[in-house]
Amino acid sequence: MTQNEEIRENMLRQVLEHLSQQNESQYHKILTSLAEVATTNGHKLLSLSSSYEAQMKSLLRIVRIFCHVFRLGPSSPSNGNDMGYNGNKTPRNQVFKVRKVYDVFRKIDVKEMNVTKHAIIYHTPSSQDPLELLWHSLDEWLVLIAAELTQNKETSTNIACLLLKQNPVNQQDISLAHHSDFGEDGSPEHLSVLPSTGHFASCEAAVNQEAVADGQDVISMTANRLSAVIQAFYMCCSCQMPPGMTSPRFIEFVCNHDEVLKCFVTRNPKIIFDHFHFLLECPELMSRFMHIIKAQPFKERCEWFYEHLHAGQPDSDMVHRPVNENDILLVHRDSIFRSSCEVVFKSNCEKLKQGIAVRFQGEEGMGQGVVREWFDILSSEIINPDYALFTQSADGTTFQPNSNSSVNPDHLNYFRFAGEILGLALYHRQLVNIYFTSSFYKHILGIPVNYQDVASIDPEYAKNLQWILDNDISDLGLELTFSVETDVFGAMEEVPLKPGGASILVTQENKAEYVQLVTELRMTRAIQPQINGFLQGFHMFIPPSLIQLFDEFELELLLSGMPEIDVTDWMKNTEYTSGYERDDPVIQWFWEVVQELTQEERVLLLQFVTGSSRVPHGGFAYIMGGSGLQNFTIAAVPYTPNLLPTSSTCINMLKLPEYPSKEILKDRLLVALHCGSYGYTMA
């Protein structure tokens, strides 16, 4: 929407707001007229020859105004102005009345739908609410499309045909082409493009028979238009509900048209973000579409994720801006955890979303590199066993909340802090130096855990659970009950798995329930307060509706980046400046040295230059600098004896002196790495 249109919308809204507040009949007249205009607009939008963009925008604009005026009621008591016009109004009642009218309509509408399904001519209700006409048309369209879908299911021999929107009449013409397409690239994204209407038209001409506007094309041609109307419908339904609640009418609507809506989303998953973003706010509705979304490439979901995460934020966080001295997070290197915790709790969440500036006490360094280092060492601190917040998994590589963290009296606040740091890092695409257990990622995502997740903290126990499931336990005399003994700092406590669990025996019949409950106890219930604390902090930056786009493995990639450093990829994505060329002997030596380094030393080198020990998802091509993507760069510095390499972490630049030999280069580099990868001074 251009600014101009926005101003016009605002003006119009203000005028209508003012007029509608004058008296009750005026209010109703305005609402009706708005509804009429919206209805006409909506119908036009459904007309294929109209401009989709323009009609969609104007429909949504009108509906926004309609909802705004509707919400106001005939006159809002909070608005002091209304005293000037007419004193005796009962706005709440009035709104209520309108709601009742809507309810009546709703009932009629539902009845009607049933009737039309049986193709019986029905009588129109009085057309007091013109918008109901539009919703009615919308319903009819969706019913039509559902019919088209079934029809195509019958005529298509396999599911690929259906997905490929094949015209049964033209099957011979295009089936070959489409099948080969499908063979090469079966991604659903590909499907949404096929076939173009032009293609269809030409096929139609070629077949030269009574032209059939193919059902699949009806769907692809109307999907966007219908989706926009659905969005408008949602807005109207929502404006009659208290904020945060999804209208039952809308839920019913989605259930009724489940199949068609799924088809739309399958065709073009972006519809979710263009028109159905409300789905993200309503988990019970979203769950219907989740499997379709999850089938989309990870990269695309990342884009959607950040697009919506940053929607409404004034500027990208990657852009350098003058930092207000008060907004700098000043932390102490020697008490990084506590000092960071203090400053983060004190700062404003919205400001942190706009950008983070960190300075270590007593150091001058500032900028993206410092921020990266802060996240890096802070995340290592979070899992520091001294704080007892997280425990290692069985193999020592991953972490999850410690069920006994309450030994640290302030532990829940620290979990909230940990959640905030992780959320903040994800928000700003910073990587952290922690790997969690898959069950903990599942907790972040809100996915239920299963017994296999137990393996990460106790592989032996998981094996036992597996064994219980796999074998008949009737005659073994295990004498298991629905309770578990746990070790709380040496003292054994019996915890029932469900009320009265200690006296319920585990049998062949209920063993599945037992395994699930044990899993939940060990993986969830035991650390529920910790999880809740963590999520409370995490959700300050990352709404649960968006994070659910990913699974636990993808979340790990998002949070922690790639664990291995690929030297070939590194070389490929490195630039050279100030006199260095790819073929210079010094550069050759440098890469030979890097090849010789241990994995750990490579991480140190990466950290030395970029401030982060992690390679972002996608490899070195996606390393971030102070202002967006910034490749790893090596710059030449004149050599003087004993001079060490230095770096500018903001721009990922390694300043490498022109060493006379490979041996000296390696020696100096290692000295720099082992002494200098932490701490900033102006070199």
Could you list the active site residues? Answer: 650
**Apex 49 CA angle, 40 and 132, nearest 5:** 25
Residue 148 binding another protein, by CB under 8 A: yes
Query: How buried is 472 (Cβ within 10 angstroms: 0-12 exposed, 13-18 middle, 19+ buried)?
Result: exposed
Least separation in angstroms between CB 44 and another protein = 5
- Of 211-219, 257-265, 277-285, 300-308, the segment contacting another protein by CB under 8 A is 211-219
Instruction: With CA atoms as reference, report the closest residue to 669 among 581, 568, 589.
Output: 589
Least separation in angstroms between CB 289 and another protein = 24
Residue 147 binding another protein, by CB under 8 A: yes
Residue 54 binding another protein, by CB under 8 A: yes
Residue 421 binding another protein, by CB under 8 A: no
In the three-class reduction of DSSP (H, G, I as helix; E, B as strand; rest coil), residue 627 is classed as: coil
Residues 33-52 that bind another protein (CB under 8 A): 33-34, 36-37, 40-41, 43-44, 46-50
Q: Which amino acid is at 8?
A: R
Residue 15 binding another protein, by CB under 8 A: yes
Residue 105 binding another protein, by CB under 8 A: no
Q: Which of 88, 126, 324, 326 binds another protein (CB under 8 A)?
A: 126
Least separation in angstroms between CB 128 and another protein = 6
Task: Name which of 200 and 482 has its Cβ closer to another protein.
Answer: 200
Residues 61-100 that bind another protein (CB under 8 A): 62
Residue 206 binding another protein, by CB under 8 A: no
Residue 159 binding another protein, by CB under 8 A: no
Got the DSSP string for 296-309?
S-HHHHHHHHHHHH
Q: Which of 110, 221, 473, 567 binds another protein (CB under 8 A)?
A: 221
528-556 burial: b if 16+ Cβ within 10 Å, else e? ebbbebbbbbbbbbbeebbbbbbebebbb
Residue 56 binding another protein, by CB under 8 A: no
Residue 128 binding another protein, by CB under 8 A: yes
396-429 burial: b if 16+ Cβ within 10 Å, else e? eebbbbbbbbeebeebbebbbbbbbbbbbbbbbb
Return the residue matching tokens 């230095």. Answer: 646
Instruction: With CA atoms as reference, report the closest residue to 206 among 245, 184, 173.
Output: 173
**Apex 203 CA angle, 198 and 209, nearest 5:** 125
| Sheet strand arrangement including 574-577 | 574-577, 632-637, 653-657, 646-648
Size of the site for another protein (CB under 8 A): 54
Q: Which of 105, 141, 440, 620 binds another protein (CB under 8 A)?
A: 141
Least separation in angstroms between CB 654 and another protein = 58
- Of 102-110, 137-145, 459-467, 563-571, the segment contacting another protein by CB under 8 A is 137-145
**Whole-angstrom Cα distance, residue 195 to residue 190?**
10
**Whole-angstrom Cα distance, residue 26 to residue 78?**
19
Return the residue matching tokens 């790819």. Answer: 582
Residue 104 binding another protein, by CB under 8 A: no
Residue 58 binding another protein, by CB under 8 A: yes
576 φ, ψ (degrees, to nearest 5): -130, 135
Task: Name which of 226 and 526 has its Cβ closer to another protein.
Answer: 226
Task: Name which of 49 and 158 has its Cβ closer to another protein.
Answer: 49
Contact predicate 650/367, CB 8 Å:
yes
In the three-class reduction of DSSP (H, G, I as helix; E, B as strand; rest coil), residue 536 is classed as: helix
Interacting residue ranges for another protein, rule: CB under 8 A: 12, 15-16, 19, 26, 29-30, 32-34, 36-37, 40-41, 43-44, 46-50, 54-55, 58, 62, 116, 119, 121, 123-124, 126-128, 130, 133, 136-137, 139-141, 143-144, 147-148, 201, 204, 211-213, 215, 217-218, 221-222
